[in-house]
């Protein structure tokens, strides 16, 4: 279970703002989603869940992800991945990068329409070192610390990827 409280030290009250129950047993990390989206990502070994005051959505990462009884089916990605022991850092207010225990880098996009989060999209990126820590530095660098290999300071830019598929279809 996860709950968000409003803590008032002057009034000595702590009302519950929102709450979510029946989270998976393999949840191990909570990431605060930056403004203007807000809310939290609950990272599990086999799934990712977004929760806020107004909405919730989930993404299954493999066949081992579980869904609570009576809940709608969780959308699945088209490849198999596990996030146990993954390190995460925000690259922008809607994109978080995960570095997995195998050195694979994944990009999760929180699809936000200006009012509410619609879905979570996960895609593979490059491979890197097996990291023991990840952090964003400024708006164009992230650092992957590693105990097993060389640590990396990476410069990145966020942009829309273009596909060559329409050109191939025309030809």
Is residue 34 assigned to a domain? yes
Mean confidence (pLDDT) of the chain: 89
The answer on pLDDT for 70 being more than 70 is no
Q: What sign has the CA pseudo-torsion 4, 8, 14, 18?
A: negative
Q: pLDDT-derived band of residue 73, with 50, 70 and 90 as boundaries?
A: confident
Higher pLDDT residue, 47 or 163? 47
Is residue 88 assigned to a domain? yes
* Mean pLDDT score, 9-26: 91
The answer on pLDDT for 16 being more than 50 is yes
**What is the tens place of the pLDDT at every residue in 120-171?**
999 999 899 999 999 999 999 999 999 999 999 999 987 655 444 444 444 4
**What range does the domain containing 117 cover?**
2-66+73-155
Q: What sign has the CA pseudo-torsion 79, 84, 87, 88?
A: positive
Which CATH number fits the domain that encloses residue 22?
Answer: 2.130.10.10
Total count of domains within the chain: 1
């Amino acid at each position: 279970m996860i709950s968000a409280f409003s803590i008032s030290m002057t009034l000595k009250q702590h009302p519950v703002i929102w709450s979510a129950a029946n989270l998976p047993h393999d949840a191990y990390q909570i990431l605060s989603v930056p403004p203007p989206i807000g809310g939290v990502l609950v990272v599990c070994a086999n799934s990712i869940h977004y929760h806020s005051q107004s909405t919730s959505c989930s993404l299954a990462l493999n066949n081992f992800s579980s869904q609570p009884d009576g809940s709608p089916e969780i959308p699945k990605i088209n490849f198999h991945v596990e996030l146990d022991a993954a390190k995460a850092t925000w690259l922008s207010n809607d994109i978080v990068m995960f570095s997995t225990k195998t050195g694979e880098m994944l990009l999760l996009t929180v699809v936000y329409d200006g009012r509410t989060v619609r879905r979570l999209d996960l895609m593979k990126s490059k491979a890197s070192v097996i990291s023991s820590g990840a952090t964003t530095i400024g708006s164009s660098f992230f650092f992957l610390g590693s105990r097993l290999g060389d640590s990396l300071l990476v410069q990145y830019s966020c942009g829309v990827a273009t596909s060559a598929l329409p050109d191939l279809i025309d030809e």
